[in-house]
Structure 1
């Protein structure tokens, strides 16, 4: 055989072998990818579904039922996508892995949370829906007009994104809550006492008025707000001496879980007032359980250690004290109030706390039964701006 022809045949044979190997490699790679996707799909379908994320402190979307109506209106696909994201196998680990990659790429934001100076995590605020905010403010004004014989006050607390604006990443876009506070102040000031605690919080930023890993203010932040608003609330000669107790040094809040950044832990403290002989007990009205303290020690063994204050949020909580002064305070609140209310205890005969998100009874009837003399609306601005439950509750009462 011609040597040149033989070399050509050998070359063609080698090319054919390489082509077959390449095709086989492609088939094997596709098969491997299919197996990986199948395994992940099966794991996601078969692993235990969760109703609640302790890490993120929120309810998780369950897989929706397939109905013709839900398919036609688009809600099925929307809920299915949310459920797949919420129920994804090892979700928390994937969030942390994504954060590490983002940080290598220079990202300063993770899942709606800014990664800020001094290991602070600050939630990115959203602009409020004007219609929702206006409805709430209108309901509050109408409620105040109806009860103009009561001492009416409001404290809408700015979030860390405003108070700690200097801590945000350089040029970080963030909705300016100052405009929202101005809107709230302008609406409420004519009909009730309005406590703007922004400057009081800003003055103590470096002392730690917000947690590094959670969206709540600290006990110090709550105290600064109390100290700034006591006179407005009608409290004469407020206590200035406290003994501070450390409840835990290992609090890791919801922003750590949401962002995937787990590099800091917070300290939760309790302020014990000195120089007062007022005693009290707490009644959780929905369960009729009584407690001798606002602090629930068992919460310190859970993920959400902030629930050490009252054990978290409840529809209705009553604090009865030995301060026999006839002052009965009704508070419409969110979770920011939980660490603020302990500072109020020595000054009222009774404090009634309502969380409108969980309370469905007649507020008007409750106020008459308890003989309410003072009312306080206490919310953080982000929750207040998006809340619809307060207007519903006040509307039911008016």
Structure 2
């Protein structure tokens, strides 16, 4: 019903996209959906699902084949991100692993780093994370306090990172550190740190409002010895690398926002056409019809813009400002749609066993991570008013 109303999308129109879309649907229904509730109770997914996903060729989709990836373009990664969100799957941190961590290594890693990490990441036998946020430092990454003291051939790293997606399961993390006595921005370096290194401790998974199956935790570094061969790209280059990669991260959030909004509408159509009130389906009331019409209109408009951004990212032309607009607007859109849909479920919408309730809780973070929506508006306004204020 909903698919018939939405405009056919050019970015997913090839035969390969259609075949992979069907394969993703089957894989999610067979291997992920039946286990997701159990993962929520455990606050972590199984390592087995990572290996199964890698075996399906769904990890590191746009990583070059010579490094173990599938070698497809970003539109295939976007398709998987959106599908997971449409089904309400938020436990496995596949996108952060494949679309953010792997992309840092592809773009800035040495050949030895690429061959060490990427093939194992593609197989799901090595799980990646990114550790930037600190307890006293959120969106302002220039003020991190985790230090890396120079000891000639290696650093000694000390500090704490928090809100680390894949934190409990990760085998390595890209860690933002600061070299003391250097200038503010040029002091930041990114290090690839294996989490079995002596001195690293993982915290317990956080009890979050939503995304209960996602293993988000803190990482603690106590005099951790890291060889300088683990520097990503170059000493003091970390801040610029983070700024370069944030656009892609923000686009993935926007893509997931489109998917979860679509899933919410589909679930609400199914519910309101079967649930009755006053002897007729809830969908028979004009208010329900108007609310659904409003929701699908918002979705269609955002889907068109996000598709354009996906095409730009595929061609390496997505600007920081466009990514900020996508992340800000799409996350606001999904939040609004899910709230409207939950209302149409009435009291059942507040019950955790109903997927719409999970979506409501899981989606709320989309306005926070990847840079808060307030930061997105600052970035947009700066570009808009450049040279005027």
Tell me the TM-score normalised to structure 1 length. 0.25
Tell me the TM-score normalised to structure 2 length. 0.26
Which is higher, the Rg of structure 1 or of structure 2? 1
The structure whose residues are more often helix, as a share, is 2
The structure whose residues are more often strand, as a share, is 1
